Amino acid sequence: MRSNALSSDVIAQNKAGSQTKEAPWVKIALIGIAITYLGLVLFLPAINVFIQAFRNGVGPFFANFSDAAFINAIQLTVLIALIVVPINTVFGLCAAWAITRHKFPGRALVVSIIDLPFAVSPVVAGLMLILLYGRSGWLGPSLEAINVRIIFALPAMIIASAFITMPFVAREVIPVLEEAGTDQEEAAKTLGAKDWQIFWRVTLPNIRWGLLYGVILTNARVMGEFGAVSVVSGNIIRKTQTLPLYVEEAYKQYESQAAFAASVLLACLALVTLVLKEILERKTSIKDVEE
Amino acid sequence: MAVSSTQPIPVRKNPKFHLTWPWRITITYMTFMLFLPVAALFLRAATVSPAEFWQIATSPVALSAYDVTFVTAIFVASVNAVFGTLIAWVLVRYDFPLKRFVDAAIDLPFALPTAVAGLTLVSVYSETGWVGSLLTPLGIRVAFTRLGVGVAMLFISLPFVVRSLQPVLQELDIDVEEAAWSLGASRIQTFWRVVLPPLLPALLTGVALGFSRAVGEYGSIVIIASNIAFKDLIASVLIFQRLEQYDYAGATVIGTVLLLISLLILVGINLLQAWRRRYEV
């Protein structure tokens, strides 16, 4: 996803006028095909979310907000994000620091291992947690002995969300940390700064946009995660139902109005994520120009 | 999405171990969150006898699920290769109204929760939907068929090829194309002989990343498909169904197969990126 950062440069270069000398009909045909394809696969489905949600006007849409299950799903989704995002931010920072600031054999392997949750199907991730913490899982009996319930309860949903979003912060921060180098940190150290001072005053300002980008991606994925959470939650209405699970449940019950109302909230989250991403990319590209 | 992670990392000669706790946190967290769950899966798989493992892994319903998952994902990957290249080309080379908006919207599948994607796709492509109602008279049914699985996979894997290709296309020298043209090469020859070869590593990486994502997709597919065995049941949904039936051995075996294949794809992507770096240098 780092490559996205270049998309603004793409436009800048085009404005500079590096157009190919092609017949106009080729250009129009290619743009037409691309936009038609995007329309069918991307734009129509995206617009459809909003049209379906407000099909019967804003009244029925807002009526959903008096549904206790709906409100509970929103609260649970926000609660999980409030817990998982800080944890994975701290982990991502630590992992990125450890990987970029130390020389050790097998570094590339560690980076690949951190990426593992992206390669695994969310259902397999959920399955692993059930085999570990479930009643017949490896730790199940001992957890039952001390009366701790993880599967089909909030802890498993937190662990599953954290598993899925583990790599986001680290992979955004690693390249920025590499680029920033250690010179400033070493200078601060020579001048007598303490480790935490170096982190707050030197390292963090250098990596803040990359870090923020990673945090935003983590948040979007945590709030939208479906597969892994679905496996471990048991989908108990008003207890372990997040917003994406609510969408599926409402769809299965043929309550499409409710399903689309919840979808609008999640789609707005996606739009906010994309806008923030654009702003952050512009910020970093401006910084590049200044340098 | 793994584009960034394995870029060459300049190694510093003088490591400063003035902060050891980041290491401790990293190792502890990864042990509990990653290694322990993976170990739990493999250990559970090891309790199944090899004969039984083989029997479950190659049962007709499992084979059909692999077929739906992987064959559809391969088909989707080839569509992505063509249309992803086209979209990247159009975004880099041409100017048109709302281009900036279109470019930003490419990332929507990364940001939109998969349950929402499934819900809106099933609504657009069902028999009464905007596109579905146009296809039904032609005898094409998308929702609740294998085609629906493909459409969901197309949606969620759309950004990978485009985003892999954009920076490379950007750097491509237009002079070389014009040289080929002026030397008498046709447009098609120019594309195959001049434009495509330098794009190939990035294109393959994007296709592989999209394939990997499509193979692991669950949320949007479980909603758009009918999830009937031997029809449009994918491997992830099969694991979910086995778990619902408390068939842990079945879920474990198919989950292990899927995980091993995902790991192979991950290794393949890393090799592709190593090849790509060598190509760039």
How far is CA A162 from each of CA A27, A87, A218, rounded to the nearest angstrom?
45, 8, 9
Q: Rounded to whole angstroms, how far apart are CA atoms B142 and B73?
A: 16
Is residue B25 one of the residues assigned to a domain? no
Q: Is residue B33 part of a domain?
A: no
CA atoms within 13 A on the CB side of B60: 3
Contact A3, B162 (CB under 8 A): no
Cα of B125 to nearest chain A Cα, Å: 9
Q: B16 and A182 in contact by Cβ < 8 A?
A: yes
Q: What is the domain-level CATH number for residue B106?
A: 1.10.3720.10
B197 Cβ contact partners less than 8 Å away, ≥ 6 residues apart: none
Would you call B19 and A97 a contact, using CB atoms and an 8 Å cutoff?
Answer: yes
List pLDDT tens digits, range A246-259. 999 999 999 989 99
Please check whether residue B209 lies inside any domain of the structure: yes
Which residue range(s) make up the domain with B91? 50-280
- Whether B25 sits inside 8 A of A4 (CB atoms) is no
Q: What is the pLDDT of residue B82?
A: 96
Residue A36, pLDDT > 80, answer yes
**Which of the four pLDDT bands, split at 50, 70 and 90, describes residue A291?**
very low
With respect to residue B154, please indicate whether it lies within any of the assigned structural domains.
yes
Place of tokens 């909030």: A154
Neighbours of B35 (CB within 10 A): 13
CA distance A283 to A290: 11
Average of pLDDT values for A85-102? 92
* Model pLDDT, residue A288: 54
Residues A195-235: pLDDT tens digits?
Answer: 888 888 888 998 999 999 999 999 999 999 999 999 999 87
Confidence of residue B1 (pLDDT cuts 50, 70, 90): very low
The verdict on a CB contact (< 8 Å) between A220 and B2 is: no
The C-alpha atoms of residue A244 and residue A196 are separated, in whole angstroms, by 39
For residue B225, the Cα-to-chain-centroid distance in whole angstroms is 18
Contact A226 B4 (CB under 8 A): no
Chain A CB contacts of B40 below 8 Å: 128, 131-132, 137-138
The pair of structure tokens assigned to A181 is 């180098």
- Could A10 and B166 be called an inter-chain contact, meaning their C-beta atoms sit closer than 8 Å? yes
Q: Do B6 and A108 touch (CB under 8 A)?
A: yes
Q: Select the residue of B5, B23, B44 nearest A171 (Cβ to Cβ).
A: B5
Measured CA to CA, the distance from residue B203 to residue B262 in angstroms comes to 19
Residue B45 domain-assigned?
no
What is the tally of structural domains in chain B? 1
In a domain, B19, yes or no: no
Q: What is the pLDDT of residue B198?
A: 86
- Predicted complex ipTM: 0.88
Nearest CA in chain A to B170: A10
pLDDT digits (tens, 9 = 90+) for B151-209: 999 999 999 999 999 999 988 878 888 888 888 888 788 888 888 888 998 999 999 99
Task: For chain A, give every domain's residue range.
Answer: 22-53, 58-290
For the segment A43-51, the average pLDDT, to the nearest whole number, is 95
B182-206: string of b/e by CB count within 10 Å (b at 16+)? eeebeeeebbeebbeebbebbbbbb
For residue B45, the distance in angstroms to the closest alpha carbon of chain A comes to 10
pLDDT of residue A106: 80
Contact B170 A231 (CB under 8 A): no
Confidence of residue B281 (pLDDT cuts 50, 70, 90): low
Gap from B73 CA to chain A (nearest CA, Å): 14
Q: Which of B3, B93, B119, B220 to mutate to test the interface with A (most CBs of A within 10 A)?
A: B119
- Work out the minimum CA distance from A145 to partner chain B, whole angstroms: 20
Asked whether B207 and B77 are in contact (CB, 8 A), the reply is yes
Rounded distance between C-alpha atoms, residue A11 and residue B171, angstroms: 13
For A3-28, what is each residue's pLDDT tens digit?
Answer: 444 444 444 444 444 445 567 888 99
User: How far is the alpha carbon of A194 from chain B, nearest alpha carbon, in Å?
Assistant: 10
The count of C-alpha atoms lying within 13 angstroms of the C-alpha of B152, restricted to the half-sphere facing its C-beta, is 38
- Cα nearest neighbour of A180 on chain B: B10
Asked whether residue B41 is domain-assigned, the answer is no
The confidence score (pLDDT) of residue A286 equals 59
Percent of all residues in chain B with a pLDDT value above 70, rounded to a whole number: 92
- Residue of higher predicted confidence among B172 and B72: B72
Query: pLDDT class for A32, splitting at 50, 70, 90?
Result: very high
Q: Is there a contact between A119 and B107 if contact means CB atoms under 8 Å apart? A: no
Amino acid at A23: A
CB distance A230–B240 less than 8 Å?
Answer: yes
What is the model's pLDDT at position A18?
44
Summarised one tens digit per residue, pLDDT across range A148-192 is 889 999 999 999 999 999 999 999 999 899 888 888 888 988 888
Residue A4: φ, ψ to 5° = -60, -30
| Alpha helix ranges (H) inside chain A | 7-15, 24-38, 44-53, 58-63, 68-101, 107-119, 122-133, 140-145, 154-164, 167-180, 183-190, 195-198, 204-224, 227-233, 243-252, 256-290
**Which residue in A33, A224, A277 is closest to B113 by CB distance?**
A224
What is the predicted pLDDT for the residue at B171?
Answer: 87
C-alpha closest to that of B87 among A160, A29, A98, A30: A30
- Two tokens at A123? 């259902």
Provide the number of CB pairs (under 8 Å) joining chain A to chain B.
Answer: 334
Q: Considering the domain boundaries, does residue B208 fall inside one? A: yes
B247 burial level (CB within 10 Å; 0-12, 13-18, 19+): middle
Average pLDDT, chain B: 89
CA distance A64 to A70: 7
Angstrom distances, CA of residue B94 to CA of A12, A35, A282, B79, B191: 12, 13, 21, 22, 16
CATH 1.10.3720.10 fits A58-290, yes or no: yes
